Structure 1
C-alpha cells in the first residue's frame, strides 16, 4: 500500500473532521482537490479512482515533482467523501474551492457526480480534469473549465454491436434478424450508453425486444431476465456500473440463462472473473483501456508497466478507472509545466491545448473539453482472462461469438 499525505488527508476527510485551510500554491506543494465516492453505491469505483490519483502523485513526486516557472513543486491531493450523492459532491466542490482555497480539481467518479460538480467549478473558474465522467451531456453546456480524458459514453459498446453484426451468420441469421435485449441503469452515463447502442442497432437493423430500466438499487434484475428466458434474444446489453455488472452475471448463472452474446460495461471494475469464475466466460466488456494496449509515456512506461506498478502497490490488476485517473494527474502536471504558472486561467489555457501521449492513450481536447484522440476497446472473458478483441488494431485474439452453451 502507498503511505503518503494524500491518504492521510483522505482519512481526515472520511471522518468528516475539519483541518486547517490548504492553499493550492502553499510553499512548494500544489494541492489538487477531489470529492470521490469512498462510501455509497459507487464506492468500488471511487476506490479505484482514488488509487489511480495516488499512484500518479507518488510517481510524479518520486521523479522530482513538477517544474513550474523555474520552481519545483510536489503534488498532493485533498480528498472528501461525496458518499455517491450528487448534492454532496457539489457541496464538497464548493468547500474545496471556497474554504480550502483549492485552485485545481480532479473529477469524482461517475457522470452523475461530475455533472453535479461541473457547474461549481465553472462558476468559480477553477479547472477540473476528470477521468470518470463519460456522459456526452457533460459536453453540451459550453463549459470552459472541464476537461475529460476518457472516451464519451455513447462509444462504450459500439464495438460490441459491430461485433454482433459481423458474427450474425454464426447464429444462422442476418443482422436484421437478430433480437436484442437492453437493461440499463437510469443515470446519465448508462442512458448515454443506451442511446449509443440504440443508434448502432438501428444502423444494423437489429430488433430491440426488451428495453428495461434496472432497479434503483441494482440488486435484482430477475424481472428482466425472466423476459430474456422467454424471448431468447441473440444479444443482451447491460449497463449499471460495477454493481449492475455483478448482478447480471450472478443472476444469469442462478437462473441458468444462456445468451449467445452478452455485452456490458464495468466488467473488470466489478471483478466478475474473480467473483463468478466460469459464469463470467465469454462476456464482452467495453473498456477505456487495457494493459495490453501499446501506449506508453516517460513517467510510467508502457500500459503493462503501469499495470505491474499498480498491482505491486494495491494487490490487484488495475481496472481502467484507475488507469484513466492516474493519467488525469499526468495531464495536470503537463499543463502546469507548459503554463509556467499556477494561475488558474493560464493552467486552463494550457489544458485546452493539451496534445500528449500517455500510458493510457493519446489525449487531445476539443472545444467542448472531451478527449478526441483515444478510441474505446472491447474485452472478452476468455479462459479466465480479459482479452482485447476489438478494435482489430489492438485485438489480442479473435472473439468467440456466439458463446458456447456448455
Structure 2
C-alpha cells in the first residue's frame, strides 16, 4: 500500500523528497479518467514524525478505499482521489511555506491538514488567504477556532475536552472532590497549553486544587524536576500533555523514580506506544483518545470501528492509533462534500463542508460556525493487563476503572 520510501539526506535530498512524495490512490483508479488532487504538508521527519506517519496512513487508507469503490461522483462524473505530500519537517514555518507551494505552484485546491495544532495554526492563514478549504484531523487547539476562519474544518474534538474525562473520574471516585489535589505538566505549545486551560476549567468546576502547574520545554527530554515536586507533594492526580514524547517520558521517568500515584492521565499514549515500549510499567495509566475500535460507530465505506481497525492492521501490521482513524475520517468528509456540492469549485465545496452532518466509523461529524466538530465526545482508555480498555464514557466502556491505578 502506498509508494516505496527512499532515504534522502541534505538539502538536495529533502527537495527531492518533497517532489517525490506524491501518492496517487489506486485500484481501480487507472480506469477513471480524472482525479481530484488533495494536498498535505505532513511531518515525515522531525519531532512529530511518528504521528505524521499515522496521519498519512489514515489519509492513504481512506483514499484507497474510496477509489476501490469507484471514486467520487461529482455532477454525474467519476473522479479518483490523489494526495500530494510534502514533508513539513515538523516545523510550522516550513508547513506554511509548503501550504503556499501546494496552492500557488501546484494548483491544489483542497488541503488535508498537517499533524499538530502548531502546524495547523501556521497553515490556516495561508489556506484562508487563497480561499482553499482545509479539513484537518490533528489540530485540536481550540484557539484555531477563535480566529474567524471560514475555510478550516476539524473532525476531532478540541483540546479543552482531552483530559476532562480524567478529572471527571477523579471527582467520581473521591469522597470529597474539593479535597482532590491535582498536578499538571504541559508542553509549551498551542495544543498542550489549550489542554491545560481546559483542565483548569474542569478543576474549578469540581472545586479541586491545582498544586503543581509546570510547563515542559519543546525538547521534552526530561521532566525529573516536575516529578521531584510530585514526589514531595504526593498529588491525587497527575496530568501530562506533551504529545507522544511527553507520554513516553512520563511513563519511563515515573517508573525510574519509583513514584506511584493513584491516578495518572496522559495524552497520546497509543502513538507513544507505551504498552509496547514499557510493558508492565504502563499498567494503570489513563489515556485520552479521540477514538477506539470498541465504539459502536459505522458507515458504508469502512463498516464499523472494529472493521476499520482490522483493515488498518491487515494493511500496516499494527493496530490503528486514533490519529490514523481521524485522518481517514477527514478524507471521507471531503469526499462527501464534493458529491453534495455537485461541483469542484472551492467555495461551493467549502459551503458543502459547512453543512456536513454525517456518521462515520470514527463517529458523528457536524461542524459549528467556527469549523469545530461538535458532535463527537472524547474517549478514555486505561492500560489493563497489557491492553487498552475503554473506561469512559460509561457507554461503551469495556472495563471498570482500576483505582488506584496499580490495583488489580
Q: What is the TM-score of this pair, normalised by structure 2? A: 0.94
Aligned partner (choices 162, 183, 206) of residue 204 of structure 1: 206
CA distance in 1 between counterparts of 2:194 and 2:393 reads 21
Aligned positions of 1:366-385 closer than 5 A: 366-385=368-387
Q: Secondary structure at the match of 1:16?
A: helix
Q: Secondary structure at the match of 2:183?
A: strand
Match of 1:164 in 2: 170
- Kindly tell me: are residues 339 and 14 of structure 1, through their superposed partners in 2, closer, same or farther at Cα, counting changes over 3 Å? farther
Bigger drift between 203-212 and 290-299 goes to 203-212
Structure 2 residue 223 is the aligned partner of structure 1 residue 227? no
Match of 1:351 in 2: 353
Match of 1:51 in 2: 57
Structure 2 residue 31 is the aligned partner of structure 1 residue 16? no
- Kindly tell me: are residues 14 and 382 of structure 1, through their superposed partners in 2, closer, same or farther at Cα, counting changes over 3 Å? farther
Bigger drift between 198-207 and 120-129 goes to 198-207
Q: Number of aligned pairs?
A: 396
Q: 1:136·1:152 contact (CA, 8 Å) conserved in 2?
A: yes
Aligned positions of 1:380-395 closer than 5 A: 380-395=382-397
* Root mean square deviation, CA, Å: 2.0
Aligned positions of 1:168-183 closer than 5 A: 168-169=174-175, 174-183=176-185
Structure 2 residue 120 is the aligned partner of structure 1 residue 120? no
CA distance in 2 between counterparts of 1:10 and 1:223 reads 38
**How far apart are 1:27 and its partner, in Å?**
5.4
Q: Secondary structure at the match of 2:15?
A: coil
Match of 2:256 in 1: 254
Q: Secondary structure at the match of 1:316?
A: coil
CA distance in 2 between counterparts of 1:188 and 1:28 reads 39
* Structure 1 residues not aligned, in runs of 5+: none
Structure 2 residue 35 is the aligned partner of structure 1 residue 35? no
Q: 1:258·1:405 contact (CA, 8 Å) conserved in 2?
A: no
CA distance in 1 between counterparts of 2:169 and 2:271 reads 22
* Structure 2 residues not aligned, in runs of 5+: 25-31
CA distance in 1 between counterparts of 2:6 and 2:147 reads 32
Match of 1:98 in 2: 104
Cα deviation code 1:301-353 (max 9, x no counterpart): 00000001001111111110000000000000101111111111111111110
Structure 2 residue 144 is the aligned partner of structure 1 residue 138? yes
**How far apart are 1:10 and its partner, in Å?**
12
**How far apart are 1:216 and its partner, in Å?**
2.2
Match of 2:342 in 1: 340
Q: What is the TM-score of this pair, normalised by structure 1? A: 0.94
Q: 1:168·1:178 contact (CA, 8 Å) conserved in 2?
A: yes
Runs of 4+ in 1 over 3 A off after TM superposition: 7-15
Structure 2 residue 66 is the aligned partner of structure 1 residue 60? yes
